[in-house]
Amino acid sequence: MKKIIYLIFITVFSLNAQESRENIYSNISLNENNETKATIRQYVNSAYNISAYKANYFLPISYRFDNNYPKIIDHNYDNPPMQTEIEFQVSIKYDITSNLFNLDEIYTVAYTQKSFWQFYATSAYFRETNYNPEFFITFPVKFGKDKYGLRAIKAGFAHESNGQGLVYERSWNYFYSDLYFQLGYVFVNLELWYSPKNSLHHNTDLLDYLGYGHIIFVIPYEKHLLKTKIRQSFKDYGAFELSYSHPVPLRDDLFFYIKAFNGYGESLIDYNQRVRKFGIGFSISR
């Protein structure tokens, strides 16, 4: 009997979350072009409760233009990192429930893992992996959306670390809020965060390099999706990231993926090193 009640509970909450996702999707002004409309739906919505969160990609070629890796990992002295490596990211989310306050809000847990694999080095070690669990609530905006372009608001709490300890540890906890706008057929995401000082034991100057937020512009056109992320700190450290994806021929669930990065904070282990990278590969979500 308990199993039956549990299944009913999960099914009802999953249906509620899916209905709320449809409400968010219906909040978007769509292009008349069917291919652009499909691209927008892939970006905004998901057909399943466990779904992609951020981009899930695999870059077999990720080239770092500057050989300026931090000298803190012991085995790198015998096997220093190469400028070409494999980079990949896995990012999923699960909508727990929704609409508890009759606002069509969605309660979500998410997990993102980004890894830098020295596949072409002698021992093919993982140079760095960042782990990023989150909990957040997303609210579709129903008032003044046509006047101001604001489509949704998200608020959450997250932890990010590289899973190491002692002098190798890089980690922080932060609260954040996101504003999602649609300006014509351009999507804009403004994210701001706050990190308590007691969560920055091993990287006290992290926010000097990451700043307190970023802005993302997403441009869908037919089957193309272009995304730019811009970040600037008060200490004059910034970052610019550009990604582009397009479906491979005869597939709508696999994409060519290109990613370029220039600035600080690409990964936690070398957040205070300026990194210039270019990668090419594939993604399974956008």
| Catalytic residue, candidates 51, 115, 159, 246 | 159
Residue 44's nearest CA partner among 118, 148, 140, 159 is 140
- Among 46-55, 96-105, 164-173, 240-249, the least confident range: 46-55
DSSP structural state of residue 30:
P
pLDDT classification of 263: cutoffs 50, 70, 90: very high
Fold for the domain defined by 2-283: Outer membrane phospholipase (ompla); Chain C (2.40.230)
Identify the bridge partners of residue 98 per DSSP, sorted by sequence position.
Answer: 106
Of the residues 14, 20, 62, 161, which is catalytic? 161
pLDDT at residue 37, rounded to an integer: 78
Band of pLDDT at residue 143, cut at 50, 70 and 90: confident
Virtual torsion, Cα 116, 117, 120, 123, nearest 10 deg: 130
202 is catalytic: no
245: annotated active-site residue: no
Q: Where are the alpha helices (DSSP H) in the chain?
A: 2-26, 34-44, 145-148, 206-210
Q: Read off the pTM.
A: 0.83
Residues sharing a CB contact under 8 Å with residue 286, sequence separation 6 or more, in sequence order: 39, 42, 43, 52, 55, 225, 245, 255
**Domain chopping of the chain, boundaries:** 2-283
Average pLDDT, the chain: 87
What digits encode the pLDDT tens for the residues 5-35? 444 344 444 445 556 666 666 777 766 788 8
CB 237 within 8 A of CB 211: yes
Q: Is the pLDDT of residue 145 over 80?
A: no
84 pairs with which residues across the strands? Answer: 63
Q: Name the residue with higher pLDDT: 70 or 24.
A: 70
Say whether pLDDT at 77 is over 80.
Answer: no
Q: Which residue has the higher pLDDT, 62 or 75?
A: 62
